[in-house]
Amino acid sequence: MNSRRKFLQQAAALTVGGALLSKSSWADNFLGASKLPAPGIQLFTLFNEMDMDTVGTLKKVAEAGYKNIESAFSKQGGFYGKKPKEFKALLHDMGMEWRSHHVMGTPFKMPANAKIPNGPDGKPIQIPVMKNLQDNSQELIDQAAEAGIPYIVCASINIESGDHIKSSAETLHRAGEQAKKAGIQLAYHNHATEFDSTDGIVSYDYFTTQIPADLLKLELDLGWVFKAGRNPVEIFKNNKGRFPLLHVKDMTAAGEIVPFGDGVYNFKDTFKNVDIAGMQYFFLEQDFPKKPFENIVTSVTNFNKFKKEL
């Protein structure tokens, strides 16, 4: 009797489950949300905080619920003053994993009309010389390979003229070959300007057509794509499977970068099409937030709510 009752209960559960799953929208939404990786953060969001208190800041990142980490330039040198394996172990011990690292493509140059941001003391931060792929590619790639992370990402590169775009493509091509030999993958991170035409060349199109996909993957920064008036899904379709990494950046109508969910951009269609992109990890990012630790909690909390609505 008990076995029969158990059988009938299981059969009923399967029938109900089948009926629910037959509602394709419900099933797609549930399964789509479950496929997303755990939330990640680009540590540039905490640029000053990471240099002031690396361990304390990372503890707050872990407590906020972030699991995947993308590192950035540090004024301390190296990886926030630590050696590659040391930094990786530090993250792992806190329940987080290091997935990628940002480097400059060419020597750093402040954009026209841009101001150096202020540090906690209210004074402009001091930016030391940064190594870059044009001059130091092998060294930077060897460090990333030593860390055992899968991706090294070109955060920015000179695209001010047609000649610069072509020269930068050569730099990326060479670095991509070096990365491949080292067993890691080079990727390219965009801003809005890559979608402008410069001397008749759209740098994003030039890089993606002139450099083989196995040498250069793409980290699409969704905020800058929206800012440029482009559709991320159409960009995915033009380079299917080439986007293992995404930056998730929200902005106000006036262009101010704010915590995820506090801006005007609609990310639903993008995240419903991440299979086309080939996404493996995404990183929430906010440049120089006014309330860093409060804002990173707001971003991940809002994203987790957003995920349930997909």
The tens digit of pLDDT for each residue in 252-278 reads 999 999 999 999 999 999 999 999 999
SS3 for 63? helix
Compute the distance between CA of residue 153 and CA of residue 217 in angstroms, rounded to an integer: 9
Quote the pLDDT of residue 119: 67
The tens digit of pLDDT for each residue in 26-54 reads 434 444 445 899 999 999 999 999 999 99
Compute the distance between CA of residue 310 and CA of residue 304 in angstroms, rounded to an integer: 10
Judge whether residue 25 has pLDDT over 50.
no
pTM of the model: 0.86
What are the C-alpha distances in Å from 246 to residues 99, 177, 226? 12, 22, 13
Question: Given pLDDT bands bounded at 50, 70 and 90, which one contains residue 111?
Answer: low
What are the C-alpha distances in Å from 176 to residues 86, 145, 156, 162, 267? 25, 13, 15, 21, 30
Question: Given pLDDT bands bounded at 50, 70 and 90, which one contains residue 279?
Answer: very high
Quote the pLDDT of residue 189: 98
The tens digit of pLDDT for each residue in 116-133 reads 767 667 777 776 678 999
Angle at 70 between CA 303 and CA 152, to 5 degrees: 135
The tens digit of pLDDT for each residue in 50-72 reads 999 999 999 999 999 999 999 99
How many residues belong to the chain? 310
Q: Who contacts 43 (Cβ-Cβ below 8 Å, separation ≥6)?
A: 50, 61, 69, 70, 71, 72
Query: Counting beta carbons within 10 angstroms of the beta carbon of residue 94, is it exposed (0 to 12), middle (13 to 18) or buried (19 or more)?
Result: middle
Quote the pLDDT of residue 30: 41
Angle at 239 between CA 233 and CA 240, to 5 degrees: 75
Start-to-end CA span in the chain (Å): 43
Quote the pLDDT of residue 108: 77
Report the chain's C-alpha Rg in angstroms. Answer: 21
The tens digit of pLDDT for each residue in 190-208 reads 999 999 999 999 999 999 9
Tokens of 144: 């990333």
The tens digit of pLDDT for each residue in 205-221 reads 999 999 999 999 999 99
Residue 224, Ramachandran bin (φ over 0: left; ψ between -120 and 50: alpha; else beta) = alpha
Question: Given pLDDT bands bounded at 50, 70 and 90, which one contains residue 24?
Answer: very low
Judge whether residue 174 has pLDDT over 70.
yes
The residue whose two tokens read 């960009």 is: 235
How much of the chain, in percent, has pLDDT values that exceed 70?
A: 85
**Of 135, 203, 205, 202, residue with least CA distance to 175:** 135
The tens digit of pLDDT for each residue in 92-109 reads 999 999 999 999 999 977
Query: Counting beta carbons within 10 angstroms of the beta carbon of residue 13, is it exposed (0 to 12), middle (13 to 18) or buried (19 or more)?
Result: exposed
Quote the pLDDT of residue 264: 98
pLDDT, mean over the chain? 89
Say which range, 9-13, 147-151, 174-178, 218-222, has the weakest mean pLDDT. 9-13
Judge whether residue 9 has pLDDT over 50.
no
